[in-house]
Amino acid sequence: MRVTIYEVGPRDGLQNESAVVPVEVKREFVARLAEAGLTTIETTSFVHPKWVPQLADAGELLESLPRVPGVRYPVLVPNEKGLDRALDCASDHGGVTDIAIFGSATESFARRNLNRTVESQFEMFAPVVERALAHGVRVRAYVSMCFADPWEGPVAPAQVAGVGRRLLDLGCHELSLGDTIGVGTPRHVEDLLDAFAEAGVGPERLAVHFHDTYGQALANTLTALRRGITVVDSSAGGIGGCPYARSATGNLATEDLVWMLDGLGVETGVDVRSLAATSLWLAGILGRPSPSRVVQALARE
């Protein structure tokens, strides 16, 4: 069995940092992730720079990034303006080949994160997906607040599956299930995957995106793997959070994920020690230790 790790450190990991990280550091971070063996690295976002000032340098980063053959560098794109900015990135530097749209399962988060209703988010995304596909760009979709929302409480699995199905039907090749605030448990994961199966969406079109707020991310991931999911999102060193979701902390740490997968004999192609060295380097720059248990343990070896 092989699992594809979809690394989100440079985007989900850094988007919540209040002090702007210099573009040279971001460039080195992405390059070191590729050196450690990661083959899908979500690099930045073409969202409104006022909403996420940390990633206002998206174009500059992409145009100066050394590309490694075989590595994909997806970027977040919410709307046509974001797509225009992404497509403007010079193709002689590799351009943009993969984007991700990001929808919400709940009204409260749709309003806070996208300034839209759940219904109107589809109108915003539809032309983005259509135009991206016409340019030969692959489109992933996220659905956020899959288990609960800080304003509305628990979210019904059928509601999430309904929104997710519509995002996929726009023409996206993959849907990533976001536990934005990290409250889900393995039982919730089972229920959600059952709801998707009932909506006609099997594990081959799904990825999982767990934040580790309550320490459940690894257990939830194992549950998803046992249900046939083979694409897992994580962030190097476990950095991150969403600036528009109260209480969201970092994603599942990539090192914790790789350690578990190595132990299970599942291939990832990622060198956990090289990755942990990168997370320690970045922690030094961000000025606080990595929350990843594996990074902390390897640092003591």
Question: Are 257 and 229 contacting, i.e. CB atoms less than 8 angstroms apart?
Answer: no
Q: To which H or E segment does residue 274 belong? A: helix 272-286
Residues 177-206 that bind ligand HMG (CB under 6 A): 178, 180
17 binds Mg ion (CB under 5 A): no
Phi–psi pair at 193, nearest 5 degrees:
-65, -35
Residue 232 phi/psi, 5-degree rounding, is: -125, 130
Residues annotated as part of the active site: 242
Candidates 40, 44, 45, 216: give the one binding ligand HMG (CB under 6 A): 45
Q: How far is the CB of 101 from ligand HMG (least distance, A)?
A: 9
Task: Fill in the per-residue mask, 133 to 162: x = in contact with ligand HMG (CB under 6 A), - = not in contact.
Answer: ---------x-x------------------
Crossing angle of the two packed helices 80-87 and 118-134, in degrees rounded to 10: 30
- Residue 188 binding: pick among ligand HMG, Mg ion, none (C-beta 5-8 Å cut-off by kind): none
A 10 A CB-CB count for 59 gives 17
Q: Choose the binding region for Mg ion from 12-20, 43-51, 216-224, 276-284 (rule: CB under 5 A).
A: 12-20
**Residue 85 found at the interface with ligand HMG (CB under 6 A):** yes
Kindly identify the residues of this chain, within the stretch 238-267, that bind ligand HMG according to CB under 6 A: 242, 244
Is 12 one of the binding residues for Mg ion (CB under 5 A)?
Answer: yes
Distances (CA, A) of 32 to 7, 74, 278: 12, 16, 7
Cα 216 to chain centroid distance, Å, stands at: 17
Q: Fill in the DSSP letter of residue 299.
A: H
Structure tokens at 57: 């340098």
Where in 205-224 is the site for ligand HMG (CB under 6 A)?
209, 211
Give the whole-angstrom CA distance, residue 150 versus residue 107. Answer: 12
Provide the binding-site residues for ligand HMG, judged by CB under 6 A. 12, 15, 45-49, 51-52, 78-79, 81-82, 85, 102, 113-115, 142, 144, 178, 180, 209, 211, 242, 244
Provide the binding-site residues for Mg ion, judged by CB under 5 A. 12
